[in-house]
Amino acid sequence: MSAVQEWFKGGGFPELARAGHLGCADIGLGHWPIVTRPAEQDRIPAAVAGTLAATAAGTD
């Protein structure tokens, strides 16, 4: 179990306790991606949104 999963399970993120589906990904962009790699950082939410939309539509 990863450290993040342990935090979730242990109540480390109380605002997410009612989440039905929760995932975590290491994006590997470094310490300050908003400064050092903004284009790469911007693509991540779009990719996640596309994946979620495909899953919801049953086309994944």
Q: Rounded to two decimals, what is the model's pTM?
A: 0.41
What is the tens place of the pLDDT at every residue in 3-58?
Answer: 777 777 787 778 877 777 777 777 777 777 778 888 888 888 888 888 878 877 88
**pLDDT value at position 40?**
82
For 17-33, b where at least 16 C-beta lie within 10 A, e where not — what string? eeeeeeeeeeeeeeeeb
**pLDDT value at position 1?**
60
**pLDDT value at position 35?**
82
**pLDDT value at position 60?**
60
- Rounded to whole angstroms, the Cα distance separating 11 from 43 reads 30
Sketch the domain layout of the chain as residue ranges: 3-57
